[in-house]
Amino acid sequence: MKLTLRQLVLGSPLPVTAMERESLPKTKALAVFSSDALSSVAYATEEILLALVVVGPVVLSLSLPIALAITALLVIVAISYYQTIHGYPCGGGAYTVSRENLGRLRGVEVTLIVPARNDSLLVRYASVAHFDDLMSAGATIALFKGGLLHTNSMTIDGTMSVFGSVNLDMRSLWLDFEISLFVYDAAFTSQLRALQSTYLGNSDRLELDVWRRRPAWRRFTENTFRLLGPLL
- The yes-or-no verdict on residue 160 having pLDDT over 80 is yes
The last residue of a domain, from among 81, 101, 121: 101
CATH number for position 161: 3.30.870.10
CA–CA separation, 182 and 161 (whole Å): 6
Which DSSP helix (H) or strand (E) runs through 187? helix 186-201
The last residue of a domain, from among 101, 123, 157: 101
What predicted TM-score, i.e. pTM, was given to this entire model? 0.52
pLDDT of residue 18: 67
CA–CA separation, 154 and 168 (whole Å): 12
- Determine contact, residues 206/139, Cβ cutoff 8 Å: no
CA–CA separation, 181 and 162 (whole Å): 6
Beta bridge partners of 191: none
pLDDT of residue 105: 57
155 and 91 fall within a common domain: no
91 and 172 fall within a common domain: no
Q: What SS3 string covers 216-227? A: HHHHHHHHHHHC
CA–CA separation, 129 and 134 (whole Å): 10
| Closest alpha carbon to 103 in 137, 154, 133 | 137
Query: What does the pLDDT look like over 63-99, one tens digit per residue?
Result: 788 778 888 888 888 888 788 777 777 666 666 776 6
Residue 9 lies in a domain: no
The last residue of a domain, from among 101, 117, 141: 101
120 and 226 fall within a common domain: yes
At position 71, the amino acid (one-letter code) is T
CA distances from 126 to 66, 119, 121, 145, 204 (A): 33, 13, 9, 19, 20
Residue 183 lies in a domain: yes
121 and 221 fall within a common domain: yes
pLDDT of residue 68: 87
- Domain containing 78: what range? 26-101
SS3 category, 4:
coil
Average pLDDT, the chain: 78
CA–CA separation, 95 and 91 (whole Å): 10
178 and 221 fall within a common domain: yes
- How many structural domains is the chain composed of? 2
The angle formed by the CA atoms of residues 147, 153 and 155, to the nearest 5 degrees, is: 130
pLDDT of residue 222: 85
What is the DSSP secondary structure assignment for residue 137, as one 8-state letter? Answer: T
Residue 19 lies in a domain: no
- Determine contact, residues 21/92, Cβ cutoff 8 Å: no
178 and 200 fall within a common domain: yes
